[in-house]
Amino acid sequence: MILVFGKNGQIGNELSRYNENICLSREDCDFANINSFQNLIKKFSPSGIINTAAYTNVDGAEEEQDLAYKINSTAPKKLAEACASFKIPLIHISTDYVFDGTNLDLYKEDDATHPLSIYGNSKLLGEQNILMSGAQAIILRTSWVFSSHGKNFLKTMINLSHKRESLEIINDQIGSPTSAKSVAYACMKIIHKMIEDKNLNGVFHFSGTPNATWAEFAKEIFKAAKIDIEISHIKTSEFSSKALRPLNSRLNCNKLFNKTGIKQSFWKEELIKVLNEMGIKTNV
């Protein structure tokens, strides 16, 4: 049995579809107030743990800094320490926003991190806390997650298309759209490999392919959903937001493939599946 934290998030929701998983929501385990994971682990006696729980409001974290650090840094530290004491493997979901976007190439796992936001910094500190805990742990960084569940760029675009005839979309940030379903699948493959191989640990990247800008992602969404809407390109500097975001957050995922054989997902194919889940008739 695999114990999953963050049931109501995008990835946690997808992991809840696997019969072998027991998934806990914020009501079951509040990462903002958790003092100990020991009793929960004793109660369920899992073979492995996947943590998808996080404070993910990038702009909100600039104002709710204490809460972001509690959920993204302090709680993962306590969880990893508990996993170390019980010798249980842990997968922790992290983010491309630990990077500042100044690289010209795709980011590798050992590239220098320099987060631009409180959200990115809180996630990076969480990574560091886990890696220092002594637990067998994998940090899985992913990016631009979308699904039919929760809040994400895809659902925002669909909702806005019902209200407007044109949209201005950022076209100078480039990254990797990634379906929550594909991340959940990767997590399940990885956790079982970790159970078999106690030496499997460290930081890995997993994202969709090919890379795209937000504007290119939006165009693909509207094309697949048969929505006729005008899109104009704007620069990040023209868009008002509280938190800074990396202009380049493309992830190099070769390490994960070489270690586990897990391939990147093709997000355009995943997009069709998600739109169908949302009840939107597509071109395919």
CATH (domain of 115): 3.40.50.720
Residue 197, CB-side half-sphere exposure with 13 Å CA sphere:
11
Catalytic status, residue 119: yes
**Closest Cα partner for 176 from 284, 107, 250?**
250
Within-domain flag for 49: yes
Per the structure, the complete domain to which residue 260 belongs is given by 2-152+176-208+249-265
- Is 25 domain-assigned? yes
> Coil, helix or strand for 64?
coil
Mean pLDDT of 6-16: 97
Amino acid at 135: A
- Lowest mean pLDDT of 31-35, 63-67, 193-197, 262-266, name the range: 31-35
Task: Confirm whether pTM is higher than 0.75.
Answer: yes
Cβ–Cβ contacts within 10 Å for residue 33, how many? 10
- Whether residue 195 is contained in a domain is answered as yes
Query: Is residue 41, in this structure, part of any structural domain at all?
Result: yes
Above pLDDT 70, what percent of the chain?
A: 99
Does 200 fall in a domain? yes
Mean pLDDT of 193-209: 97
Q: Is 250 left (phi over 0), alpha (psi -120 to 50) or beta?
A: beta
Instruction: Band the pLDDT of 284: cuts 50, 70, 90.
Output: low
Structure tokens at 192: 């079982």
Confidence check: pLDDT of 35 > 90:
no
**Statement: residue 225 has pLDDT above 70:** yes
User: What is the distance of C-alpha 89 from the center of its chain?
Assistant: 19
Of 12-26, 32-46, 99-113, which range is least confident? 32-46
Residue 243 in domain: no
* Interval 84-106 mean pLDDT: 97
pLDDT computed for residue 137 by the predictor: 98
Q: Are 282 and 276 contacting, i.e. CB atoms less than 8 angstroms apart?
A: yes
User: Is 214 inside a domain boundary?
Assistant: no
| Assigned domain for 220 exists | no
What pLDDT shows up at residue 281?
A: 80
Out of 55, 69, 97, 119, pick the active-site residue: 119
Q: pLDDT tens digits for 149-191?
A: 999 999 999 999 999 989 999 999 999 999 999 999 999 999 9
pLDDT band at 283 (very low <50, low <70, confident <90, very high): low
pLDDT range class, residue 282, cuts 50, 70, 90: confident
CA distances to 39, 67, 83, 201, 264 from 29, in Å: 11, 15, 16, 25, 31
Q: Which single residue is written with the structure tokens 């998983």? A: 21
How many domains is the chain built from?
1
Reference 221, options 177, 165, 175, 164; nearest CA is 177
Percent of the chain at pLDDT exceeding 90: 92
